[in-house]
Structure 1
């Protein structure tokens, strides 16, 4: 792992890793028991939000029945989980090789081992999910398996962390925008929430590793990593438009792939998923001209540069932050609380999504009745309480007009 680096008051690698280790103890999942694998699939619900399916908004999609659309979402879900298994396999191999050169007493080593445990459980979860939805895993071809086995040998230093971010953060960003969609199968929502919660720490670890490595990299190495990451665009274009998923859904694989790759809506979905990582890579100087060209060519970057700030996809003003008093109604009982809420208009589904934290005394069993009404200055909105945080507060989400509008 990287040596501890202290710069401008930022935590060292060891301090940062210690914080992540504490977070892993406070909040982690065992998918074998934390997902209700025995619950039946919900009838007439999608496995990915309709607007996230690659053919959405095309004439081919318009000609499909609802049943065909659901089946396509199932096959794309299986395809994505299959790729997730292979990527996390690569990442674990790379981390394990890196640990051969690391201090076994270092907190960064301990967190890398913790992450490997998380990823192992995720692979089990993805495998169980494919089985649950009645899918068949998408298996890599022989030459692809050879590449998969060779890649961990090349992932060292900053390249390891950038590769981890490319593999993790695009999926994470898309899942955050998908997981509360009411059209989703409940089991899919649960899987996404578990994955997003634990991947958030993995992404922080990789970002910290990349940022600290860049500061000490020779110019030539930095240029190599800054431009090589663009290959990720080619990989994800292939993944998101894998012809096999269309064939399994009863479509012409080559034609469906062509339609998806030329769909403006699909391009927007890809750009939305890549935006946070693109901003980060640009911020630390690892978005080289060749990489930018490849990401743009594969439609993960818009052809015209974004005017958004580099540290986020939307500014706080655009996302309407509210911090103040509110009334939370759970059942027939009102509770005076303080809330901190933020929201944004989601391009994928065209709806306003808001979320935040609730501070105050509310019933201990509130998670058993997560649906509630949140009122701010007389404006009420339906909300869903998602979890209790290690600090004793509660997470809350909603879709539609927020109570603080």
Structure 2
């Protein structure tokens, strides 16, 4: 297949995919303001996320912790993940707006892009309210990462922008599919996870289609460059999910907890399993190069 033919096929497929996603959004979307019982008290013994997803689960330190410490830790961990999600969703919204700048408003792609931004705004408010409800402070990535992200969101475009978006969405999606079924997980987290899973599934389909479109007929040099940038963004996102401050909040020795989490083989296995589908797609799209694979291995995504 020639590059011209590939571009023609993608140009035809794109409006169809976006149109179907718009129809899905119109029939299956949620309003967190009414779907979640914000007035309900938080049961004392319920976790913020499935214990198996805690960074310390499966370590000797986890065995030493009291049940109260485990509950506190998981609540701070889920709020740290949500805070990171808000941070990246704000980056995502700016990249999508830049990508859709002065494009045809009648195009279904343009309309779904704005629909996705509206979804992300609701998700960010939902996450913010959950953290407030739990009484957990906002956790942010390291200052250097925050400043570097200003540059990334200003220059990243095409497959790099949508690739970084897909990474964040795919990893969180796998986690939340477990959280929404967790019988010992707070109902507020279970419900928000269900909302996020349903609506983010459309965002992931959109991101995948955009990546396919942008990758059609690209040069080898661009493919390698984009693969490395997406992997670098993925590494930053994964490393930023759980702030080290969560261990201090649970009354743990931060240095020891950070070391235990870094060497936690159970956690590494969970991350690799969570990223399996993502890696398969990146490989199909030509974005799993040798250098990119090395970066993913360093953060246990492959």
TM over 0.5: yes
Q: Where in structure 2 are the equivalents of 1:172-251 lying within 5 Å?
A: 172-251=173-252
CA shift for structure 1 position 134: 1.3
Q: Is the 8 A contact 2:81 2:242 kept in 1?
A: no
Q: 1:241 to 1:126 in 2, by over 3 A?
A: closer
CA shift for structure 1 position 139: 3.2
CA shift for structure 1 position 216: 2.7
Map of 1:94 onto structure 2: 95
CA shift for structure 1 position 239: 2.1
Q: Distance in 1 between matches of 2:84 and 2:263?
A: 22
Q: Distance in 1 between matches of 2:140 and 2:241?
A: 15
CA shift for structure 1 position 255: 1.8
Map of 1:279 onto structure 2: 280
Q: Is the 8 A contact 1:214 1:222 kept in 2?
A: yes
CA shift for structure 1 position 144: 3.4
Q: Distance in 1 between matches of 2:243 and 2:25?
A: 34
Q: Is the 8 A contact 1:227 1:290 kept in 2?
A: yes
Choose between structure 1 and 2: higher helix proportion: 2
Q: Where in structure 2 are the equivalents of 1:302-317 lying within 5 Å?
A: none
Q: 1:19 to 1:56 in 2, by over 3 A?
A: same
Choose between structure 1 and 2: higher strand proportion: 1
Which segments of 5 or more consecutive residues in structure 1 lack a partner in the other structure? 302-405
Q: Is the 8 A contact 1:242 1:257 kept in 2?
A: no
Q: Is the 8 A contact 1:174 1:272 kept in 2?
A: no
CA shift for structure 1 position 242: 2.6
CA shift for structure 1 position 140: 4.3
Correspondent of 2:9 among 7, 10, 18 = 7
> TM-score under structure 2 normalisation?
0.93
Q: Where in structure 2 are the equivalents of 1:37-48 lying within 5 Å?
A: 37-48=38-49
Map of 1:265 onto structure 2: 266
Q: Where in structure 2 are the equivalents of 1:355-394 lying within 5 Å?
A: none
Q: 1:65 to 1:72 in 2, by over 3 A?
A: same
CA shift for structure 1 position 240: 4.0
Partner of 1:12, secondary structure, is: helix
Q: Is the 8 A contact 2:272 2:301 kept in 1?
A: yes
Map of 2:118 onto structure 1: 117
Matched, 1:58 2:59: yes
Alpha-carbon displacement from aligned partner over 1:334-371 (angstroms, at most 9, x marks no partner): xxxxxxxxxxxxxxxxxxxxxxxxxxxxxxxxxxxxxx
Which segments of 5 or more consecutive residues in structure 2 lack a partner in the other structure? 1-5
Q: Which has the larger radius of gyration?
A: 1
Map of 1:34 onto structure 2: 35
Map of 1:72 onto structure 2: 73
Map of 1:151 onto structure 2: 152
Q: Which stretch shifts more, 170-179 or 226-235?
A: 226-235
> TM-score under structure 1 normalisation?
0.70
CA shift for structure 1 position 178: 2.7
Alpha-carbon displacement from aligned partner over 1:304-328 (angstroms, at most 9, x marks no partner): xxxxxxxxxxxxxxxxxxxxxxxxx
CA shift for structure 1 position 189: 0.3
Q: Where in structure 2 are the equivalents of 1:286-365 lying within 5 Å?
A: 286-301=287-302
Q: Distance in 2 between matches of 1:71 and 1:269?
A: 21
Map of 1:371 onto structure 2: none
Map of 1:326 onto structure 2: none
Q: 1:287 to 1:157 in 2, by over 3 A?
A: same
CA shift for structure 1 position 116: 0.2
Q: Distance in 1 between matches of 2:285 and 2:301?
A: 19
CA shift for structure 1 position 227: 2.2
Q: Distance in 1 between matches of 2:41 and 2:132?
A: 13
Q: Is the 8 A contact 2:141 2:243 kept in 1?
A: no
Q: Distance in 2 between matches of 1:67 and 1:110?
A: 47
Q: Is the 8 A contact 1:45 1:183 kept in 2?
A: yes
